[in-house]
Amino acid sequence: MQPESDSLDPAIFRTRDVRQLLAMYRRQLQYWAETNLVRPSIRTQGEHHRYTFEDIIALKGAKRLIDAGVSVQRIRSSIQAVREILPEVAWRSQE
């Protein structure tokens, strides 16, 4: 499935794309952003959420952990720790 991404950067995903990739409701994504569980890395000038590949990985992990019964507080602190530990990686292939 090819995501419909922003015209400027194909590595940025719209909420609609993330919902389809992860089988999540829009309201669930909004709630997780509001409660700082997993926030989208980018907001457009129109205040629309945009997700990076790293955000999608965090969302997928959080969803699986919640389904397994792990507390939201523990997931939140784990995601934050991973983001602090791992260096930022460029995901684009070199041409």
Q: What is the pLDDT of residues 47-82, one digit of tens each?
A: 889 999 889 998 999 999 999 999 999 998 888 887
Token readout for 71 is 């507390």
Q: Which helix (H) or strand (E) holds 49?
A: strand 49-51
pLDDT at residue 1 above 80? no
Distance between CA atoms of 18 and 20, rounded to whole angstroms? 5
- pTM here is 0.74
- Count the neighbouring beta carbons within 10 Å of the beta carbon of residue 49: 19
The answer to whether the CB of 78 falls within 8 A of the CB of 72 is no
Residue written as tokens 């070199």? 94
The dihedral through the CA atoms of 83, 77, 21, 44 has a sign that is negative
